[in-house]
Amino acid sequence: GENVEQHPSTLSVQEGDSAVIKCTYSDSASNYFPWYKQELGKGPQLIIDIRSNVGEKKDQRIAVTLNKTAKHFSLHITETQPEDSAVYFCPRNDYKLSFGAGTTVTVRA
């Protein structure tokens, strides 16, 4: 089955700096790569996703890049703001493994 590793598990950045979270996957047949954000007290919410026929996708301050050769995809947040503090997930494609523990991002004012 699919194995996805997410790093780092925690990330603290100064407001205005950039944050990068990386996920490495094992199944070369994977073709859909989503990122979810979970704010305190809320359910996870899809913030951006990419399919395997695209190398990069941007939406305002967030972007996802995909490297199919190296089998990893990354979430980039630029000009971080306090509201970016949350847990970010790249869920495994194999539903039986569900979501991992994610990356806890803290933006320091």
Write out the residues near another protein by the rule CB under 8 A: 2, 30-32, 34, 41-46, 49, 89, 93-102
Identity of the residue, 59 or 109, whose beta carbon is nearer to another protein in the bound complex: 59
| Minimum CB–partner distance for residue 54 and another protein (Å) | 14
Within its chain, how far is the Cα of 55 from the centroid? 15
Identity of the residue, 18 or 46, whose beta carbon is nearer to another protein in the bound complex: 46
Identity of the residue, 22 or 94, whose beta carbon is nearer to another protein in the bound complex: 94
Quote the CA–CA distance of 65 and 57 in Å, as a whole number: 7
